[in-house]
Amino acid sequence: MTLIPGSSGGDLGQPGFQRLLGPNAVDSQIRQAISICWMTLPPEKRDVDTVCSTIRGIVERALSNLSDDALLFDPDKRG
């Protein structure tokens, strides 16, 4: 089964993809990232404030790069 709409091998499309992931997919991924962040910090830095600031920093960097990434991975806009 192909999960990328428009690619060969099948096309779930957006509604099918949403059904596949369910309503909690994003929430689950974010919570998993928070847990992994907690587990990978050194014991002396494992506190809520450090985890919050670390996760916020990661999310802010990802969001600030989103436009560049969209251009980079959009086959219609590659030069």
| Residue-wise pLDDT tens digits, 28-77 | 999 999 999 999 999 999 999 999 999 999 999 999 998 888 888 887 76
pTM: 0.65
Q: Given CA atoms 37, 42, 47, 49 in this order, what sign does their dihedral have? A: negative
Which backbone phi and psi does 23 adopt, to 5 degrees?
Answer: -75, -15
**Digit-coded pLDDT (tens) for 15-28:** 777 778 887 888 99
Question: Rounded distance, CA 65 to CA 77, Å?
Answer: 16
**For residues 41 and 51, is the Cβ–Cβ distance under 8 A?**
yes
- The pLDDT of residue 59 is 94
In the Cβ-directed half-sphere of 71, how many Cα atoms lie within 13 Å? Answer: 4
**For residues 17 and 5, is the Cβ–Cβ distance under 8 A?**
yes
